[in-house]
A and B are shown apart, each in its own frame.
Chain A
Amino acid sequence: MATPLLEVADLACRRGGRRVFERLSFSLGPGELLALIGRNGSGKTTLLRALALLMRPEAGTIRWQGVEARGEPDVWRGRLGWLGHLEGLKADLTVAENLLAAERLRGAPPAEDRLDSALVAFDLSSLAQRAVRTLSAGQRRRTALARVVLTQAPIWLLDEPLNALDAPAQAAFREALATHLESGGVAIAATHADLGLPGGRTLELGTPT
């Protein structure tokens, strides 16, 4: 394995009074994908939220290129492309407005010139001016994935990215993910389905207690 970019050591999280996982360690080098698998309630989403610093782990460290993420939380967050269980889209804004607003909220440079390629990647060009509330579940998921692509963030954290996607949309996601990994990024995805990319590693989280 190449020199690790992301190193997670002895991570432990507690939720609702119970320990979800403990002593969880892994590392990812450039271009590596980690699929989190496990039953409902096994802690996949909790792990993703802990990695994003959306919740405080009970113990453990998260390092990016040797630097503790919690030491520079704003810098760390700026490196994340996030797809949560919820899409994170405003129903009354159009697809294009949602994507551009999300980029502006990240304080990123103007994204208008990058917008088209993100829309094309998920076949959203014809829907760009449609309000999100008029879209199907799959179209919303594609929009949320396009938002992740638009970030150009080196770390993708994805919670069930294939949810509600039809076969062409799943293929588009795999292509976008492959491009991200080829460019040296890393990705961690909680999933119940096969992500369909060769060489990806898996981490099975324990049975919920």
Chain B
Amino acid sequence: MSGFAALVARDLRLVWRRPGDVAVVLAFFVVATTLFPLGIGPEANVLARIAAGVLWCAALFAALLSLDRLFAADFEDGTLDLLLLAPWPLELAALAKCCAHWIVTGLPLAALAPLLGVAFGLESSVLLALSATLLVGTPTLSLIGGLAAALTLGARKSGALLALLALPLCVPTLIFGAGAVEALASGGDFGAHFAVLAALALVALATTPWAIAAALRQAGE
């Protein structure tokens, strides 16, 4: 087994041992999104119009909820040293950590979103588009969040700092993710928005692992 696969497997096993951490994230997503129909009322047109933005914002906040522990746990128990000492690129280790985070948060959020979209009166094609945008967009949230988590490692009030760092960087993903869904619902160009969303994910994939690795090395000193 390669070091990359071993690290993903280890982190997934840790989540399996503490399912409550993921349950809290998903519960937050469900509660946050269902509050809107309850608060705004049963006006179908209004709900359908805000659905994409609400679901995408809730997914972003839910993903950020679990990110402050992404590297902090390894930092606190000394396993970060073992990652830094592994004889394979730390950039791959950073990517493996973000990959594991996406599997346990981004993937379930993308699966759950269409079910919640029903409460907003979205059509089935729009529900599928919502899920697709989250599938493509949430890896970016994990990667950018991972960078913020690495940069705030060991800092006081790291959770708040992480949100302050990550949220502005996630705005393009939020705009094009929600925009793609809205475009489909209103007969606009879904493909163009979706292509930009995918491009943002590729840019994050190509850049953040190096930045995360540099931040982790700095934290290790």
Residues of A within 8 A of B (CB): 49, 52, 54-56, 74-75, 77-78, 80, 82, 84-93, 97, 101-102, 104-107, 131
Given the complex, which residues of A lie within 8 Å of B82, measured CB to CB? 82, 88, 102, 105
Is A56 a contact partner of B78 (Cβ separation < 8 A)?
no
CB of B84 to closest CB in A, whole Å? 6
Is B221 a contact partner of A107 (Cβ separation < 8 A)?
no
Is B85 a contact partner of A80 (Cβ separation < 8 A)?
yes
Measured CB to CB, the nearest residue on chain B to A102 is B82
Q: How far is the CA of A105 from the CA of B80 in the complex (A)?
A: 11
- Main SS class of interface, B: helix
Is A90 a contact partner of B88 (Cβ separation < 8 A)?
no
B75-110, CB under 8 A of A: which get 1 and which 0?
Answer: 011110111111111000000000000000000000
Given the complex, which residues of A lie within 8 Å of B85, measured CB to CB? 52, 54, 77, 80, 82
Contact A90-B221, Cβ < 8 Å, known A75-B87, A77-B85: no
- Most B-side CB within 10 Å, residue of A80, A91, A105, A106: A105
Instruction: Bin chain B's interface residue count.
Output: 20 to 34
Is B14 a contact partner of A105 (Cβ separation < 8 A)?
no
CB of A94 to closest CB in B, whole Å? 10
Given the complex, which residues of A lie within 8 Å of B76, measured CB to CB? 86
Q: How far is the CA of A48 from the CA of B58 in the complex (A)?
A: 45
Given the complex, which residues of A lie within 8 Å of B10, measured CB to CB? 90, 93, 101, 104-105
Q: A86-B77, A87-B77, A89-B79 are in contact. List 16 more A-B contacts (CB 8 A).
A: A52-B81, A54-B85, A77-B86, A84-B81, A86-B81, A88-B79, A90-B14, A90-B77, A92-B14, A97-B13, A104-B6, A104-B9, A105-B3, A105-B10, A105-B82, A105-B86
Given the complex, which residues of B lie within 8 Å of A87, measured CB to CB? 77-78
Is A107 a contact partner of B81 (Cβ separation < 8 A)?
no
Pull 17 A–B residue pairs with CB atoms less than 8 Å apart, ordered by A.
Answer: A55-B220, A74-B88, A74-B89, A86-B77, A87-B78, A89-B77, A90-B14, A90-B79, A92-B14, A92-B17, A104-B3, A105-B86, A106-B3, A107-B3, A107-B6, A107-B87, A131-B17
CB contact between B87 and one of A77, A84, A97, A101 (< 8 Å): that residue: A77
Is A104 a contact partner of B14 (Cβ separation < 8 A)?
no
Q: How far is the CA of A183 from the CA of B175 in the complex (A)?
A: 61
Docked complex: B164-221 residues within 8 A CB-CB of A = 220-221
